Structure 1
Amino acid sequence: MKISQLKNKPFIILGIILILIMLSTPLGVYAYNTHNYNKFTTLGDNSLASDEFDQAIDNYSSALKYNKKNESTINDKIELTKQLKESKQNYTEALALFDENKFLEAADSFKKIPEADSKYYNTAKDKIDECMNQYIKENFNKAKSDAAINKYDSAISLLENILKIEATNTEALSLKEIYTKEIQNTKQLKEGTVNSSSQLASNVSQNANKPSNVSNNKNSSPSTNNIKNNSSNINATATNNSPVPNVQSPSNNTSPSNTQKNTYPIIVKNPGPHPGTMYTGSKFPPDIDIPYKSLFHEDNLGYMTVTVGRYPTWSNEVFESWDLEIFLFDNQLFFKRKDHNMSPIYPSNYYVTVKNRETSEILFKYIPE
């Protein structure tokens, strides 16, 4: 009996070993898979944190091989990684557009950053606000620059860009109203100039068919009576609504060589002899070299206070104000600044019309030939 038991003992031990091996194998495989799953999942998380999106996807895919039961979790991680990869691309593109001053396009790209992107989402929100502020600032600057050179249509278009973003922006609304009025003023000015030019041409034509009482000798001075009569006529026109006097230059007078036409108009405010009147016409040409003391004596018809600027923005961009004395010499109108000893301004190629501000009644004209 004892001999038989001894003979079977090795088989018993072998059986026990086999049983233990069979029991330990699944445990070993599970431990191995778990270890690798955790390892690759951790590697994937680390790669994702470093914005190494492709590497993260590879690591998550490797982790999935060792644990099919967590397939849903791993797939979610992979999808999030793909989403964050696209988000990073949009963020990088948005920064580049911002640096190129393409603020609206940049804002659109920043808006694509999902809330799930905890790394860039809040920064993107701040950047969107910055884009809008810069876009508004840029359009304001461009609008004001265009308005400064009388491009009011373009300026209004730029202000409309601002109002599409901030419909209640008070500065944009105010400037739009101002620029719209400037366009209307310019249109009215052009229409008035055309009408005045037509009337002046008609007056010149009528005067050309009448005998001229004007001396053809430039150096001969008008009599004191003629000067006083002209002065009286002008003042009488302003007060008594008598027929409009036309002061016409003699045909033998020509502009000095250094007299050049200046296209900037001026506005005359509060003319001395005619309160409440307004001047329309062209800015006077440059000074000419004639000693003013030898030319002007007692023939002062009055003076006008003028504000010189780039019409129609002169009210916003005033250069300076002048007091101009008006003189009649040899049946011509001359102007001189009262505040310093400048040579007279000789508007031989310019017409001058003085109107009543309220009624637009023409008080007097200077008509050059």
Structure 2
Amino acid sequence: MGKIKLFLNKRKFPILILVILALVIIGFGVYGYNKVQAYNNLITTANKYMDRDDYDKASALFEQSLKYKEDSSVEKNIKLAATLKKFKEIYDDGVKLASDKKYLGAIEKFKTIDKSGLKWYSNAQKEIKECKKQYIAQNMHLANDALKNNKYDDANKYLDDILKIDSNNEDAKNLKDSIDEAMNQKQENFKSEEEAKQVPQNNAEKANVKSNSNPINDKTNEYASKMREIDNKIYEIESQREGMYSGSEENRQALQRQIDLLKQKNDLIDQMQK
């Protein structure tokens, strides 16, 4: 009986050691499992905040995860969160400028976002295209308004602004060509109008000479009637031209008709003097 007790006492110590060792191993296992779970939960939540563009919260969780595990990819994500936060702020500033129709300022903002901004870079490129489109439309409208008021220099300025951001814009190029043509025509019209003003004065002087040197007869009355008819037509055309765009084809044709009538009147006076 004593031998049995001695044997059991000798066996108890190793068993106790094994039990303690098992408990320690289990404890470390549970701790390790909980640590991994906590780490994974932090990373998962941080990534969700990244997707929501909440970079401050994402960065804070990434920082916290490093307490459980050193991970170079997490450190990269912390830097990425800081970069994306910066570009998001720039993007938001650009959108605000665009909404205020300050398209050039918005374009300059968007251009500072490089490819490291990931989706903010893609979004910025889309906004740049839209801003250019709106800026061109805005300046084309201003150019056309200036043309309606014969402000050719102002119209050219708006078109030059368009060509600075889109040198191949066909609408702006074509309109500039039309303006150049209209300005040249305006100079020609001015010259023709000055010449036309001299015709009635010369005709009147010739008519006075003729009337003073010859008695009025039936033929003279006929000429006078024709001259009044021509004068009425000239006046009618002049009234019509007041509502026409000076560089238009319609105005040029009206001016030509007016000049032709003045020539007819001059020919009529020459006939009276014969």
- Cα drift, residue 20 of structure 1: 2.5
Task: Sort the Cα spacing of 1:144 and 1:223 in 2 relative to 1 into closer, same or farther, 3 A.
Answer: farther
Pairing of 1:204-243 with structure 2 (within 5 A): 224-225=216-217, 228=220
Task: Sort the Cα spacing of 1:183 and 1:363 in 2 relative to 1 into closer, same or farther, 3 A.
Answer: farther
- Cα drift, residue 51 of structure 1: 1.9
Match 2:53 to one of 35, 51, 54: 51
**Counterpart Cα distance in 1 of 2:192 and 2:39:** 88
**Counterpart Cα distance in 1 of 2:97 and 2:161:** 19
Task: Sort the Cα spacing of 1:4 and 1:74 in 2 relative to 1 into closer, same or farther, 3 A.
Answer: same
Task: Sort the Cα spacing of 1:223 and 1:45 in 2 relative to 1 into closer, same or farther, 3 A.
Answer: farther
Which secondary structure does the structure 2 equivalent of 1:167 belong to?
A: coil
Task: Sort the Cα spacing of 1:168 and 1:114 in 2 relative to 1 into closer, same or farther, 3 A.
Answer: closer
- Cα drift, residue 195 of structure 1: 9.2
Task: Sort the Cα spacing of 1:43 and 1:363 in 2 relative to 1 into closer, same or farther, 3 A.
Answer: farther
- Cα drift, residue 30 of structure 1: 2.6
**Residues 3-52 of structure 1: per-residue CA shift (max 9 Å, x gap):** 43333344323322333344445434432321111011011011112222
Look up the match of 2:248: 315
Determine if the alignment matches structure 1 residue 34 to structure 2 residue 36.
yes
- Cα drift, residue 315 of structure 1: 1.9
Look up the match of 1:153: 153
**Counterpart Cα distance in 2 of 1:162 and 1:43:** 47
Q: Give the CA RMSD over aligned residues.
A: 4.2
Look up the match of 2:138: 138
- Cα drift, residue 54 of structure 1: 0.7
Quick check: 2:142–2:158 contact (8 Å CA) kept in 1? yes
Match of 1:65, as an amino acid? K
**Counterpart Cα distance in 2 of 1:364 and 1:184:** 32
Quick check: 2:196–2:262 contact (8 Å CA) kept in 1? no
Task: Sort the Cα spacing of 1:186 and 1:170 in 2 relative to 1 into closer, same or farther, 3 A.
Answer: same
Which secondary structure does the structure 2 equivalent of 1:313 belong to?
A: coil
Quick check: 1:185–1:312 contact (8 Å CA) kept in 2? no
**Counterpart Cα distance in 1 of 2:90 and 2:222:** 79
Task: Sort the Cα spacing of 1:364 and 1:135 in 2 relative to 1 into closer, same or farther, 3 A.
Answer: farther
- Cα drift, residue 73 of structure 1: 0.6
- Cα drift, residue 214 of structure 1: 11
Determine if the alignment matches structure 1 residue 90 to structure 2 residue 90.
yes
Quick check: 1:354–1:364 contact (8 Å CA) kept in 2? no
Which secondary structure does the structure 2 equivalent of 1:300 belong to?
A: helix
Look up the match of 1:81: 81
- Cα drift, residue 176 of structure 1: 0.8
Task: Sort the Cα spacing of 1:133 and 1:54 in 2 relative to 1 into closer, same or farther, 3 A.
Answer: same
**Counterpart Cα distance in 1 of 2:134 and 2:268:** 53
**Residues 320-357 of structure 1: per-residue CA shift (max 9 Å, x gap):** 969x99xxxxxxxxxxxxxxxxxxxxxxxxxxx9579x
TM-score by length of structure 1 reads: 0.54
Quick check: 2:84–2:120 contact (8 Å CA) kept in 1? no
- Cα drift, residue 139 of structure 1: 0.8
Task: Sort the Cα spacing of 1:364 and 1:171 in 2 relative to 1 into closer, same or farther, 3 A.
Answer: farther
**Counterpart Cα distance in 2 of 1:181 and 1:135:** 25
**Counterpart Cα distance in 1 of 2:25 and 2:245:** 99
Task: Sort the Cα spacing of 1:14 and 1:97 in 2 relative to 1 into closer, same or farther, 3 A.
Answer: same
Equivalent residue pairs, number: 247
- Cα drift, residue 55 of structure 1: 0.7
Q: Where is the strand percentage greater, Structure 1 or Structure 2?
A: 1
Match of 2:168, as an amino acid? T
Task: Sort the Cα spacing of 1:146 and 1:171 in 2 relative to 1 into closer, same or farther, 3 A.
Answer: same
Question: Structure 1: which 5+ runs fail to align?
Answer: 216-221, 232-297, 326-352, 357-361
- Cα drift, residue 141 of structure 1: 0.7
**Counterpart Cα distance in 2 of 1:170 and 1:37:** 59
Which secondary structure does the structure 1 equivalent of 2:59 belong to?
A: helix
- Cα drift, residue 169 of structure 1: 2.5
Determine if the alignment matches structure 1 residue 179 to structure 2 residue 179.
yes
**Counterpart Cα distance in 1 of 2:263 and 2:97:** 56
Match of 2:225, as an amino acid? D
**Counterpart Cα distance in 2 of 1:131 and 1:89:** 18
Question: Structure 2: which 5+ runs fail to align?
Answer: 270-274
Task: Sort the Cα spacing of 1:316 and 1:104 in 2 relative to 1 into closer, same or farther, 3 A.
Answer: farther
